[in-house]
Amino acid sequence: MPTCQNCHRRWSWKQPFNKSFTLIGGMICPYCGEKQYLTARMRKRSALMPFIIVPLILVGNHFLGPSYVAIFAFLGLLPLFFIINPFFVELPNEEEPLI
């Protein structure tokens, strides 16, 4: 779970989960009120997810044959990503450039 760089308190799972759907802006620490930002690596990872899931579905259908089972199996990985993702969130005090 992420930790605030100012007050060093650990955030709950829900707070970074809600922020993982946006690419810009900061998150206000619920404990000290200071603004924290997602690292550039986390923002890139979140933005690239659709470009990973769609090709996986296409490749899976090519090798396993077109079926609804293959599509639902690969789409089942998407919620798993969103459940696990908040455990890897890092929050620096300053916003990092995406370059």
Length of the chain: 99
Q: What would the mean pLDDT of 8-12 be, rounded to a whole number?
A: 88
Task: Give tens-digit pLDDT for 39-94.
Answer: 888 878 777 877 877 787 778 777 877 777 777 777 777 788 778 878 888 888 88
User: Does the pLDDT of residue 20 top 70, yes or no?
Assistant: no
Determine, yes or no, domain membership for 22. yes
Give the per-residue pLDDT at 45. Answer: 79
Specify the pTM: 0.62
Domain that holds residue 78: 14-88
Task: Read off the tokens for 74.
Answer: 């690969």
Residues in Cβ contact with 15 at an 8 Å cutoff, skipping those fewer than 6 apart: 2, 27, 30, 86
Residue 27 has a CB neighbour count (10 Å cut-off) of 20
Task: Give 11 or 85, the one with higher predicted confidence.
Answer: 11
Number of domains in the chain: 1
Determine, yes or no, domain membership for 33. yes
Report how far residue 5's alpha carbon sits from residue 28's, in angstroms, rounded to the nearest whole number. 12
Residues in Cβ contact with 43 at an 8 Å cutoff, skipping those fewer than 6 apart: 23, 24, 98
